[in-house]
Amino acid sequence: MKSWKKISAGLMARRFNEVGPRIEIKVLEGFTLWGAPLYDLEDGKIKGVISLAINFK
């Protein structure tokens, strides 16, 4: 992952051969929104993931 002040970008690989770019955006302190359009090598389809991560300190 390459990180800047509020945005990070990199590559993601998931189980069952899904690969693609991943983008993270720091929304507020402790909240990160991230998403990844992933290409499934087995099915030959594009799938995706969107998530909101909450960090408790």
Give, for all 57 residues of the chain, the pLDDT tens digit.
Answer: 889 999 999 999 987 779 999 999 999 989 999 999 999 988 899 998 999 999 997
Please give the residue range of the domain that contains residue 42: 2-54
* pLDDT value, residue 6: 94
pTM equals 0.77
H/E/C letters for each residue in 1-57?
CEECCCEEEEEEEECCCEEEEEEEEEEECCEEEEEEEEEECCCCEEEEEEEEEECCC
> For the chain, what is the domain count?
1
